[in-house]
Structure 1
Amino acid sequence: MQHDRKVERRTILKAAGASLAVAGLGATATACGGDSGAGDGTVTIRYAWWGAEDRAERINKTIKLFEKKYPKIKVKTDFQPYLDFWKKFNTQASGGNPPDVFQNAIGFLRKYDAKNVLLDLSEQVKAGNLSMDGFRAGLDKFGEIDGRLLGVPVGSNSMALVIDKPAYTRAGVKPEQGWTWDDYHAALEKIRDKSGRAGDSGMYGVMYLYDLYLRQNGKAFFTEDGLGFTEADLKDWWTKAKKGVEDGIYTDPKKVAQIKPKSSVAAEIAGGEFTWDNFTVRYTSEGKSEYGLAPIPTTDGKKTGQYLGSLMLSASKRTQHPKEVAQFIDFMVHEPEVAKIMGYDRGVPATQAQYDAFKPTDEVNKSIAAYEESLVEAGVLEPITPHPNGADICESAFLRIGEELGLGKRSVDEAVKQFFTESKTALGT
């Protein structure tokens, strides 16, 4: 579930797909929803997203290209840090004044669909204003809910294991597709013994990794209606996480908290950590070592449970300009020049045309592209687990309670009970 690589890692990386704050506040959008248009036939649509200044600069360049192609459509922009974005969006949606088009994520689709906020873009596909052809690896279905098109992917990512390559080499460990959790934990012990650091930054709050583990075992974090696992399942997961800290193969959460916002891997107190593949660039900018992407460990040596996640563009049901909004989305996901400007800022481009248009020259982005290609070639990708209304609250709770557990503020039993209590309230179950 793709969230922003600029967003503070403990929320975005660990809760994922909801993932803490990024810097940057952009120009404020117009106060009213959907401008009625000028006398010359020009209309204005409002576009909002979360991110930092560098994303805003890239997006503004793409908007200039769009307005050049569609001179009768003007775009007013609004961007915020991640948490501020959703606070503002909630206020706008509650007041009947959401932006015409906005950046969205899988954890929010059912929530805002239930609030009657999202426009079904299927009619615009039928009208020829938006094409859903040419998407990579099944991403054209990513934003569908009950047969309705509520979001269009702009990029893809998948969970991966980011490693300090020299630390793995010194330990004599070479991760390969299909390695098991037993292989992985044996590797962490070797890294601990050879380098004097923990093998992994810890797994208390990595919700999307836990989802993959559940999927490997025939379950999932979410079903369409609620949680897809039991209190006993979560107790087992968090008990193993605690034991890993005690054994020194996972970093002490107190040390993780002390070095934030720097990652444990870049700070050289962990040999690797699980995160979204397109976040890899942050490690190179933070650390001094060489970093790479390794496969997800498996239960049976075959099934990883992985899927491609994505940020997406959604439209407001209250927009007065559905055609123009559809044309805008179509341009942003298909126009090759947009990919050349955006790069992998929001993940690997979702359409083949944009994927082919941007060929990274730096080693980090090359490795991201190669990693996703390897997932397709290995045939491990599956459909994404449905996210029910209230999923975003469950994600936040998993992160927060997992951190409290790691810091010794709760026992495993207390943490499990608290998570299920909050989740049942959020999901209405």
Structure 2
Amino acid sequence: MPTNRDLDRRGLLKVTGGSLAALGLTAAGCGGGSGSGDGPVTLRYAWWGGEPRTIAIKKTIALFEKKYPKIKIKPEFTDYESFWEKFQTQASGGNPPDVFQNSVAFLRKYDKRGVLMDLKSQADAGNLNLKNFRNGVLTAGQVEDKQLGVPVGANTMSLVVDLKVFKKAGIAPKMGWTWDDYFDALQKIQDTQKIAGDTGYFSIMYLYDLYLRQNGKAFFTDTELGFTEADLTQWWNDGYKRVKSGLVADPKKIEQVKPKSGLSAGLAASEFTWDNFSIRYEGEGESDYGLAPIPTTDGKDTGQYLGSLMLSAFTGTKHPKEVAQFIDFMVHDPEVGKIMGYDRGILATTEQYDAYKPADANNKGVAAYEDEVSAAGVLGKITPHPSGADVIEAAFLRIGGEVAQGKNKPAAAAKQFFGEAKAAFAG
């Protein structure tokens, strides 16, 4: 079990920016637009996110329209849940936006429905550059031989820890520590600091995917789930036991502090999440927080990969060339990179990554975490997400939460989940 030695330098990458020398530590018709001939073209551009993202994106739109005065952008934006409810209706009616923010969970779903443009055709035509993407993240937007999305940012799963609690408990995670090490650490935190070690790891689909990948499986194959009911029963059974023992925080208390995280509320000492999400804790909590490595099964393989938010295009747009030019500008232009920063993850292209130099310690820590995970050689290719993955992720979170609260026994919950997954795949 790791000790207190070299807490910040070797095992924990401080989000607060204290030390970055860790070992590998570290989402109107057929297309939209008006205009013809030499007149202006209007493209609809839709995304989800909060007010800071919207303010930044509107600034990038103004830059684009200055460079391309004959292309006008009509923005459409809302929160995540409302975005996909609206998009579902638009897609069913043949009227989605020309360009829209997307994620891997929706690629196969809307490719299956004929909504997404294969952007390779525009790359071949010279309207879109598909080069200079960092760490192989471009593959996140690929399905079979099609490029259905172009990444704007990249992130990977991480373990965010309360640095003060871990230091007091004498725990310094290092790259290659195991799940046994992690759970031993939770026990030590409970024994010495009198709080839970984890906020509730076992209902996070993307974390379970990493665990499965470490063991030669994956959450998804191209068409279905890549694990068994018995696998999931064991995962949820072990998790529930840790809730009962106090190693994992009481889920009722976690619910009570929302939207604040259970970690920043002081209910537990660690939480698994995407690395770029970790910036939230400094604003919410009263401690110092850092990024630690994902526990492993074999002492080496974390199962990690780069996820991504991306831009996709409607295959029925009336203006495919202009759409491609817009996407190209948004993912390669250095000034856009400076404006967006790491709002949607670490910038995906070298042009934007090199142009943006984060001044705040939080973003510096996140960038260093991702760079060093890449340098450690543990990053693999993202697991495919079949059509229905979005519904399945929501079901995993919901049913896993029921297990944590004792409302559903692990075996029955696993059976229920597999039933709902089957229906989602068929939908």
3-state DSSP of counterpart to 2:134: coil
Distance in 2 between the 1:36 and 1:270 partners?
A: 53
1:78 corresponds to which residue? 76
How far apart are the structure 1 equivalents of 2:195 and 2:252? 14
Aligned to 2:160: 162
Q: Structure 1 stretch 380-389 or stretch 139-148: which is displaced more? A: 139-148
Specify the SS of the correspondent of 2:243. helix
Structure 1: 4+ residue segments shifted above 4 A = none
Structure 1 segment 286-301 matched on structure 2, within 5 A: 286-301=284-299
Moved more, 256-265 or 402-411: 402-411
* Secondary structure in 1 matching 2:42: strand
- Which of residues 149, 152, 159 is equivalent to 1:151? 149
Q: Distance in 2 between matches of 1:424 and 1:79?
A: 32
- Alignment-derived partner of residue 3 in structure 1: none
Q: Please state whether the residue corresponding to 1:103 is helix, strand or coil.
A: strand
Which residue among 401, 404, 414 is the counterpart of 2:402?
404
SS at match of 2:201: coil
Partner residue in 2 for 1:318: 316
The correspondence of residues 325-404 of structure 1 with structure 2, limited to 5 A, is 325-404=323-402
**Corresponding pairs, count:** 401
**Aligned match for 2:226, one of 225, 228, 240:** 228
Which residue pairs with 2:54 in the alignment? Answer: 56
Q: Contact 2:102 / 2:312 at 8 angstroms: preserved in 1?
A: yes
Deviates more, 1:311-320 or 1:202-211: 202-211
| Number of the residue aligned with 2:169 | 171
Q: What's the TM-score once normalised by structure 2's chain length?
A: 0.92
Give a deviation string over 1:334-353, Cα, whole Å, max 9, x none.
Answer: 00111111111000000011
Q: Matched residues in 1 for 2:292 and 2:120: separation? A: 38
Q: Is 1:135 aligned to 2:130, yes or no?
A: no
Q: In the alignment, residue 153 of structure 1 is paired with which amino acid?
A: P
Q: For the residues of structure 2 that align with 1:169 and 1:178, how far apart are their CA atoms?
A: 19
Greater Cα offset, 274-283 or 196-205: 196-205
Q: Following the alignment from structure 2 to structure 1, what is the Cα–Cα distance between the partners of residues 223 and 168?
A: 46
- Tell me, in whole angstroms, the C-alpha distance in 2 between the residues paired with 1:32 and 1:224: 29
Out of 221, 235, 238, the position equivalent to 1:237 is 235
Distance in 1 between the 2:333 and 2:147 partners? 20
| Residue identity matched to 1:293 | L
Q: Which residue of 2 aligns with 1:307?
A: 305
Matches within 5 A, 1:86-165: 86-165=84-163
| CA distance in structure 2 between the partners assigned to 1:174 and 1:381 by the alignment | 22
Q: Counterpart in 1 of 2:210? A: 212
For residues 320 and 29 of structure 2, the distance between their equivalents in structure 1, rounded to whole angstroms, comes to 19
SS in 2 for 1:138: helix
CA shift, 1:32, in A, is 7.3
Aligned to 2:22: none
Give the drift of 1:41.
2.2
Return the alpha-carbon distance in structure 2 between the equivalents of residues 142 and 159 of structure 1. Answer: 15
2:360, 2:93 → 1: CA distance?
45
Q: Which residue of 2 aligns with 1:248?
A: 246
CA contact (8 A) 2:30 2:94 kept: no
Matched residues in 2 for 1:104 and 1:242: separation? 33
Query: Following the alignment from structure 1 to structure 2, what is the Cα–Cα distance between the partners of residues 363 and 209?
Result: 26
2:273 maps to amino acid = T
Deviations 1:144-168 (A, max 9, x none): 1110110000000000000000000
Q: Distance in 1 between matches of 2:37 and 2:125?
A: 25
Q: CA separation in 2, counterparts of 1:365 and 1:251?
A: 28
CA distances 1:67-94 after superposition (whole Å, capped 9, x unpaired): 0111110000000110000000000000
What SS does the corresponding residue of 1:309 show, helix, strand or coil?
coil
> Does structure 1 conserve the Cα–Cα contact (< 8 Å) formed by 2:77 and 2:83?
yes
Shift of 1:251: 0.4
Work out whether 1:180 is the aligned partner of 2:178.
Answer: yes
Q: Please, what is the CA RMSD of the aligned residues?
A: 1.2
**What TM-score, normalized to structure 1?**
0.92
Helix, strand or coil at the partner of 1:75: strand
**Unpaired runs of 5+ in structure 2?**
1-26
- Separation in 1 of the partners of 2:183 and 2:70? 58
Q: Secondary structure at the match of 2:202?
A: coil
**Contact 2:60–2:339 (CA under 8 A) maintained in structure 1:** yes
Contact 2:34-2:40 within 8 A present in 1 as well: no
Percentage of pairs with the same residue = 62
Secondary structure of 1:137's aligned partner: helix
Partner amino acid, structure 1, of 2:357:
K
Which secondary structure state, in structure 2, belongs to the residue aligned with residue 346 of structure 1?
A: coil
Q: Deviations over 1:109-129 (max 9, x none)?
A: 000000100011111000110
Cα pair 2:30 2:316 within 8 Å, conserved = no
Higher relative contact order (CA 8 A, sep 6+): 2
The superposition leaves residues 43-65 of structure 1 with CA deviations (integer Å, 9 ceiling, x where unpaired) of 00000000111110000000000
- Following the alignment from structure 1 to structure 2, what is the Cα–Cα distance between the partners of residues 298 and 70? 49
**CA shift at 1:39, angstroms?**
6.3
For the Cα contact (< 8 Å) 2:151–2:309, is it kept in 1? yes
Structure 2 match to 1:7: none
5+ long unaligned stretches in structure 1 = 1-16, 18-29
